[in-house]
């Protein structure tokens, strides 16, 4: 079993933090379906932004029993330490540091995965954050700046020396962004190099993928990202396979309907009607993928601007069984 400081996780399957996706309602659904760990969307280390509605929404504690983990991103050691302390004071039980995001707007300020090119700065950030807070600090990285400079093992050793309690590794470099296939050889080398729990991330789309990656890397667990969008049931499937139990059947139409309504209602409650309706649209599209009529439904749904009408339209779609014929 994986332990992160005082937190003993119930299984080995993590939800990857994803900006604009892993908000409180989404994390709650994934936890309900079996995820053992689900950090918040990343927030800036600039404490001047912490009073904004966007930041408050991102760090809102989810209504589940998982450790309340908040992910921070930045490039300045002292600023990162202050951001960590701010979030711990607000209730964070784990601080997760993002050194894996490949987005240009993050990397151009020398944050996220751009930090992997500067191991000394990595060390100073980790040392400052760990020294500043009493809760466990975790780290998410990529395998290096580029395919020709995969320094994941070096970064992992720095992380272990500086007191990081758990390390998630996405099997691509910063330069790869999300192109091509994830490679897990570097993750396997990291597992061999350090004694802290290492979590393998990248292209885990099924229970079979999770088992294959764990066997290949020897990692302590797996982290699921984009494959969970509109598919929180992936967690129960992976957990069952890793426990040696039969993999559950895919969700029924009523289960999908129930989960989508929970997500949409959660968006309305968290963000308010105006923003909530708009944020819910992408979740509606994800949950309806693969069903005949989904494209036309999505197009119409994108024009709805009232919360009650959005919920009613979702229910109307799911109460018409003919729409559930899988598209050819």
Q: pTM of this prediction?
A: 0.91
The answer to whether residue 306 sits within a structural domain is: yes
Domain end position, chosen among 242, 274, 301: 242
In a domain, 248, yes or no: no
Answer whether 170's CB lies under 8 Å from 182's CB.
Answer: yes
pLDDT given for residue 113 in this prediction: 81
Q: How far is CA 175 from the centre of its chain?
A: 20
Residue 51 has pLDDT above 50, yes or no: no
86, 106: one domain: yes
At 48 the pLDDT is: 45
Rounded Cα gap, residues 305 and 279, in angstroms: 11
Q: What is the pLDDT of residues 230-268, one digit of tens each?
A: 999 999 999 999 999 999 999 988 899 999 999 999 999
The whole-chain average pLDDT of the chain stands at: 90
What's the confidence (pLDDT) of residue 104? 60
Among 83-87, 94-98, 154-158, 177-181, name the one with the lowest average pLDDT: 177-181
Does 247 reside within a domain? no
Q: Is 192 helix (H, G, I), strand (E, B) or coil?
A: helix
What backbone torsions phi and psi does residue 198 show, to the nearest 5 degrees?
A: -115, 130
- Block residue for tokens 């020709």: 148
Q: Which residue in 95, 46, 28 sits closest to 263, CA to CA?
A: 28
One domain for residues 199 and 258: no
Instruction: Decide: 270 and 22 in contact? Cβ < 8 Å.
Output: no
pLDDT of residue 315: 92
Q: Are residues 227 and 268 in the same domain?
A: no
Handedness of CA 292, 293, 299, 304 (dihedral sign): negative
**CATH at 20:** 3.20.20.70
Both 24 and 99 in a single domain? Answer: yes
Q: Given this model, what pLDDT does residue 139 score?
A: 97
Q: Does 8 share its domain with 54?
A: yes
Q: What pLDDT score was predicted for residue 106?
A: 65
Q: Looking at the domain assignment, is residue 117 inside a domain?
A: yes
Catalytic residue (choose from 30, 101, 107, 267) = 101
Overall domain count for the chain: 2
Pick from 183, 85, 191: nearest CA to 130:
85
The pLDDT confidence band at residue 328, using thresholds 50, 70 and 90, is very low
Instruction: Look at residue 109 and tell me whether its pLDDT is greater than 70.
Output: no
Query: Are residues 206 and 135 both part of a single domain?
Result: yes
Same domain, 179 and 86: yes
Contacts (Cβ under 8 Å, ≥6 apart) of 193? 153, 156, 157
Q: Distance between CA 71 and CA 55 in Å, rounded?
A: 11
* Cβ count within 10 A of residue 149: 13
Question: Is the pLDDT score of 311 beyond 70?
Answer: yes
- Mapping DSSP to helix (H, G, I), strand (E, B) and coil, where does residue 249 land? coil
Using the predicted structure, report yes or no on whether residue 52 has a pLDDT greater than 60: no
Q: Tell which of 181, 209, 242 closes a domain.
A: 242
CATH of the domain at 293: 1.10.1200.80
Question: Catalytic annotation on 267?
Answer: no
Residues 6+ apart with CB under 8 A from 6: 136
Q: How confident is the model at residue 34 (pLDDT cuts 50, 70, 90)?
A: very high
Crossing angle of the two packed helices 253-271 and 273-287, in degrees rounded to 10: 160
pLDDT in tens, 145-191: 989 999 999 999 999 999 999 999 999 998 888 888 999 999 999 99
Average pLDDT of the residues in 203-210: 96
261 in any annotated domain: yes
- Evaluated on CA atoms 115, 69, 222, 285, the torsion sign reads negative
Per-residue confidence (pLDDT) for residue 79, from 0 to 100: 93
More reliable by pLDDT, 297 or 111: 297
- Picking from 181, 210, 242, the residue at the C-terminal end of a domain is 242
Averaged pLDDT, 289-298: 82
Question: Do 295 and 192 have their domain in common?
Answer: no
* Of 199, 117, 192, 202, nearest in space to 157 by CA: 192
Write out 121-138 in H/E/C secondary structure: HHHHHHHHHHHHCCCCEE
Query: Mean of the pLDDT values across residues 106-112?
Result: 62
Task: Tell me the C-alpha to C-alpha distance, in Å, between residue 217 and each of 226, 284, 308.
Answer: 20, 35, 47
Residues 107 and 211 in one domain: yes
Do 233 and 281 belong together in one domain? no
Q: Judge whether 51 lies within some domain.
A: yes
Q: Which domain holds residue 259?
A: 253-324
Residues 82 and 222 in one domain: yes
Residue 4 pLDDT exceeds 90: yes
Nearest by Cα to 200 from 222, 224, 183, 182: 222
CB 89 within 8 A of CB 111: no
How does DSSP assign 283-327, residue by residue?
Answer: HHHHHTTTBTTHHHHHHHHTT---HHHHHHHHHHHHT-GGGGSBP
Confidence of residue 321 (pLDDT cuts 50, 70, 90): low
Query: Is residue 84 domain-resident?
Result: yes
- My answer on whether 258 and 174 are in the same domain is no
CA 232 vs. chain centroid, Å, equals 12
């Amino acid at each position: 079993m994986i332990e992160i400081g005082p937190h003993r996780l119930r299984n080995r399957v993590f939800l990857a933090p994803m900006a604009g996706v892993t908000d409180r309602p989404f994390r709650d659904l994934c936890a309900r379906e079996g995820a053992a760990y689900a950090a918040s969307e990343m927030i800036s280390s600039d404490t001047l932004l912490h009073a904004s509605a966007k930041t408050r929404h991102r760090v809102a504690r989810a209504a589940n029993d998982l450790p309340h983990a908040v992910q921070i991103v930045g490039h300045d050691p002292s600023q990162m330490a202050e951001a960590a302390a701010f979030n711990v004071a607000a209730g964070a039980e784990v601080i997760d540091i993002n050194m894996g995001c490949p987005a240009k707007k993050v990397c151009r300020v020398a944050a996220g995965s751009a930090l992997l090119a500067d191991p000394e700065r990595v060390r100073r950030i980790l040392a400052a954050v760990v020294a500043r807070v009493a809760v466990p600090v975790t780290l998410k990285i990529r395998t290096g700046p580029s395919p020709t400079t995969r320094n994941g093992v070096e970064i992992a050793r720095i992380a272990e020396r500086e007191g990081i309690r758990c390390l998630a590794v996405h099997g691509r470099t910063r330069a790869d962004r999300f192109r091509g296939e994830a490679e897990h050889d570097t993750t396997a080398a990291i597992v061999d190099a350090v004694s802290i729990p290492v979590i393998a991330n990248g292209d885990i789309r099924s229970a079979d993928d999770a088992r294959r990656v764990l066997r290949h890397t020897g990692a302590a667990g797996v982290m699921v990202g984009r494959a969970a969008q509109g598919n929180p049931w992936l967690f129960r499937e992976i957990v069952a396979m890793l426990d040696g139990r039969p993999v559950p059947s895919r969700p029924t139409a009523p289960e999908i309907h129930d989960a989508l309504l929970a997500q949409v209602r959660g968006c309305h409650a968290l963000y308010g009607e105006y923003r909530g309706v708009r944020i819910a649209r992408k979740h509606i599209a994800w949950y309806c993928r693969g069903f005949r009529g989904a494209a036309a439904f999505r197009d119409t749904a994108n024009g709805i601007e009232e919360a009650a009408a959005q919920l009613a339209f979702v229910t109307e779609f799911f109460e018409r069984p003919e729409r559930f014929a899988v598209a050819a």
